[in-house]
Amino acid sequence: MDTLTSSEQGLVTEFVSITNYPGPPHTAIPYLQASDWNLERAIIMYFESSPEANEQLNSSARRVSFPGGFPGDESEVIPQNQRPPSAGRGGNAVTEFFESIKAKISQLGRSSTDGYLPISNDSFASTRTFMELSTKNKLVYVLQLLLYIPVYIMHKITLVAFMVLVKLFPIVKRLTGRYFQNRNSARSEPKAVDPAQIARSFINEFNMTYRNDNSIDFYEGGYTSALFVSKRDARFMVIYLHSDHHDDTDSFVRDTLLDDSVVKFFQEHNILVWGGNVIDSEAYQVSNVLSCTKYPFLALLCLKSNTQETPDGPTQGTPTMSVVSRVQGVISPEKLIDKFSSQIERLEPTLVTLRAERQQQALARVVREQQDQAYQTSLARDRAAAEQRRLERELVAKKEQWLNWRATTLKDEVPAENKGEFARVAIRMTDGERVSRRFAKDASIEEIYAFVELYQKGFLGKDVSDAEGPEDFVYPFGFRLVSPMPRAELDPASDTMIKDEPVVWPSGNLFVEVLDDD
């Protein structure tokens, strides 16, 4: 606390006093620091983040009917000096009147009876207590009964009558300030509720109360979201702040806001309408931001470019959403339309220009994206072609390396005198030439394929000493060796020895069949 300025210490003290903060004052500093020393935001943050504090706030907002413990009354007792003010939703002049009378009656004779009011369900106890009183106190007690019983009966009858009126005529709630059947509850906004959910709740309640049928198409989202959409689309925006307890709210909504000419006016100018009830935290904060002092309240907002003075001369700053017109209090539909129309006619050209610029920017962005996409596609195609050419060159080089190496490792033809050590194989080449060769019996089938490839490529007898084969390379033969009758194919990848293949052992006829390119 010592490191804070005097104004900051004052804010801490005020925060602790308003919120009835239970901890040491210095532990409340983080709330103010997190809200940039904004007292209102800090208080809201504290109640939203602390369930205990929020429950305490709700409890302090609850009202009771009879703070005296009279027979038949089981409402919660709240001391007179702790009751919340009766303004707004919680107020009821008739109930307050009866409560004040009852509170005064309960105080009669307390000095002489030590605070005991001799009314009890125990008849013996009541009689005994009554007999013990002095003559003066007996007189006071009788006067209490004479005053209390008629007032209590009148109070109950009045409550029942008002409850019936509320059910038959919902408009009575505007006069009484609450529903009697829910008079002990306080409306509080759930913690961590999505602003869109609060907006939908307000819209549903508004539509049901005034039979709106979505004539006014309220934006189903939070205030910040509505501002963003209006700014993004360069649209006019109307903010409506609703107050249930204001006397003019009903007539304003029915006669002005929902008037056909006003609804048509909003639709023709594509105005985004956002509404909120000031009993909700977001709408309440909006009312503070817009300095709302009277209800009903309407504000017209749109993008405005602010001129800024610079050393190089005046320049146009970034457009921001600004209030260009406001209505506080009752107004006729004609005057409302005239008031907003004058601003819309004045500012519409600016918004049209902004929308045109943004459309051009969006179109230019799309063209750039298409050009970039075409360039990237062409670049990828060129890269793929270059990679294909590289792979082809690499394949050609590896093939030639393999042919050179295989020419040095190909076994020599077995001499004719080594009977039983070779298989005589006659091979018809692709050009029709017939070649016959004696292959060692312990050679693999791949030996015949290698001979045919080397023979057709002209590598047989070529001086390629000290050649090394490529690593991890399997030569792709572009043909297959087939026995005509019966047809049988030899697999170059098999490890089968020639002597174990009946197609060529001890002799055989093969022809070269070229494979398709695919």
401-447, pLDDT tens digit by residue? 999 888 888 888 999 898 889 999 999 998 889 999 999 999 999 99
What is residue 244's predicted lDDT score, i.e. its pLDDT? 87
C-alpha distances in Å from residue 14, one per residue of 8, 35, 55: 10, 15, 20
Residue 105, pLDDT above cutoff 80: no
Whether residue 204 is found in the same domain as residue 304: yes
Structural domain harbouring 499? 410-514
Spacing of C-alpha 138 from chain mean position: 70
Q: Are residues 281 and 315 both part of a single domain?
A: yes
Residue 199 and residue 167 share a domain: no
Average pLDDT score over residue span 239-243: 94
Q: Does a structural domain hold residue 86?
A: no
pLDDT of residue 173: 54
Domain count, the chain: 4
Residue 456 has pLDDT above 60, yes or no: yes
For range 166-175, the mean pLDDT:
58
Q: Are residues 334 and 449 in the same domain?
A: no
Query: What letter would DSSP give residue 431?
Result: T
Of 36, 57, 78, which closes a domain? 57
Residues 168 and 202 in one domain: no
pLDDT reported for residue 484: 86
Q: Quote the pTM value.
A: 0.44
Confidence of residue 479 (pLDDT cuts 50, 70, 90): very high
How many angstroms separate the CA atoms of 265 and 426, rounded?
Answer: 98
- Tokens (6 digits) for 58: 């709700």
Rounded CA gap, 10 and 18, in Å?
12
Whether 451 shows a pLDDT value over 50: the answer reads yes
Asked whether residue 113 is assigned to any structural domain, the reply reads no
Q: Taking residues 294-301, what's their average pLDDT?
A: 93
Q: Are strands 422-428 and 507-514 parallel, antiparallel or unpaired?
A: parallel
Mean pLDDT throughout 466-494?
Answer: 86
pLDDT at 480 over 80: yes
Q: Which of 172, 203, 221 is the last residue of a domain?
A: 172
Q: For residues 272 and 229, is the Cβ–Cβ distance under 8 A? A: yes
* CA distance from start to end of the chain: 84
Residues 455 and 464: their CA atoms lie apart, in Å, by: 15
Q: Which of 419, 387, 402, 305 lies closest to 353 in space, CA to CA?
A: 305
pLDDT at 434: 93
Domain match, 442 and 483 both: yes
Task: Find where tokens 């004696």 sit.
Answer: 438
Q: What is the pLDDT of residues 136-161, one digit of tens each?
A: 566 776 777 777 788 878 888 887 88
The pLDDT value recorded for residue 55 is 55
Q: Are strands 313-316 and 307-310 parallel, antiparallel or unpaired?
A: antiparallel
> What mean pLDDT, rounded, does the chain reach?
78
Statement to judge: residues 213 and 268 lie in one domain: yes
Give me 313's structure tokens: 């001369």
Residue range 300-326, pLDDT digits in tens? 999 987 776 677 777 777 788 899 999
* Dist CA 141 CA 411 (whole Å): 135
Least confident among 88-102, 354-368, 442-456: 88-102
Identify the residue whose tokens are 């051009």: 360
Flag whether 181 is in a domain. no
Residue 247 and residue 328 share a domain = yes
Is the residue at 365 inside a domain? Answer: no
Rg of the chain over all Cα atoms, to the nearest angstrom? 48
3-state secondary structure of 310: strand
- What pLDDT sits at residue 133? 55
**39 has pLDDT over 50:** yes
Residue 404 lies in a domain: no
Two tokens, residue 460: 């047989």
- Which of 46-50, 104-108, 268-272, 495-499 has the lowest average pLDDT? 104-108
Containing H/E element for 325?
strand 320-328
pLDDT at 60: 41
Work out the pLDDT band at 181, boundaries 50, 70, 90: very low
What is the sign, positive or negative, of the torsion defined by CA atoms of 153, 157, 158, 159? positive
Asked, for residue 494, whether it belongs to a domain, the answer is: yes
Percent of the chain with pLDDT over 70: 73
Q: Is residue 436 part of a domain?
A: yes
What CATH number is attached to the domain comprising 419? 3.10.20.90
Spatial CA neighbour of 43 closest among 20, 65, 62: 20
Instruction: Identify the band that residue 51 occupies on the pLDDT scale cut at 50, 70 and 90.
Output: low
Same domain, 304 and 414: no
Query: Exposed, middle or buried, 179 (CB in 10 Å: 0-12/13-18/19+)?
Result: middle
66 falls in which pLDDT band (50, 70, 90)?
Answer: very low
Domain contains 387: no
Same domain as 335, residue 201: yes
Q: Is the pLDDT of residue 81 over 60?
A: no
With 60 as the cut, is the pLDDT of residue 54 above it?
A: no
* CATH code for the domain in which residue 207 is found: 3.40.30.10
Q: Which amino acid is at 393?
A: R
The pLDDT value given to residue 193:
66
- Mean pLDDT along residues 154-169: 75
Which of 344, 372, 393 terminates a domain? The answer is 344
Same domain, 235 and 141: no
Q: Residues 276, 282, 287, 291: is their CA dihedral positive or negative?
A: negative
Output the CA angle 201-59-68, nearest 5 degrees.
Answer: 130
For residues 206 and 159, state if they share a domain.
Answer: no
Query: What average pLDDT score do residues 263-276 get?
Result: 94
pLDDT band at residue 164 using 50, 70 and 90 as cut-offs: confident
What is the average pLDDT across 462-472? 76
| One-letter identity of residue 396 | V
